[in-house]
């Protein structure tokens, strides 16, 4: 059906990292982030500035757990199309780099 109608509006169809690839990406990343990071930090990731504010709200909501406030929040680029944002061994979210939309999240299997 995709051949006839195209992709469904609002869906992501780029490179999609596995759970293991996502956690490997942030564990080896040097990019850091806090829920209070300036919007310019999101533009460093390649997120369109007009979407950065909404993504900052998403990050704040996902990583607001009191026990996580002191843990390192990291980000990495996966195959030039996905931004992986997360806390090693806890949680990651996957964001479409072109639109700034979150399209998936993974919890670490050990949690």
Residue ranges of domains in the chain: 17-107
Contact (CB, 8 A) for 22 and 78: yes
Is pTM, for the whole model, over 0.75?
A: yes
Question: What percentage of residues in the chain have a pLDDT greater than 90?
Answer: 31
- The two most distant CA atoms of the chain are separated, in Å, by 49
| pLDDT tens-digit map of 5-39 | 555 555 566 778 999 999 999 999 999 987 778 88
């Amino acid at each position: 059906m995709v051949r006839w109608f195209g992709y469904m509006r609002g869906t992501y169809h780029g490179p999609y990292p596995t759970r293991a690839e996502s956690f490997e990406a942030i564990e080896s990343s040097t990019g850091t982030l806090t829920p209070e990071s300036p919007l310019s930090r999101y533009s460093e990731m390649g997120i369109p500035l007009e979407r950065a504010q909404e993504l900052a709200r998403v990050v704040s909501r996902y990583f607001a757990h009191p026990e996580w406030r002191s843990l390192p929040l990291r980000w990495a680029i996966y195959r030039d199309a996905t931004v992986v944002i997360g806390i090693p061994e806890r949680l990651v979210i996957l964001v479409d780099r072109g639109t700034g939309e979150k399209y998936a999240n993974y919890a670490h299997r050990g949690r």
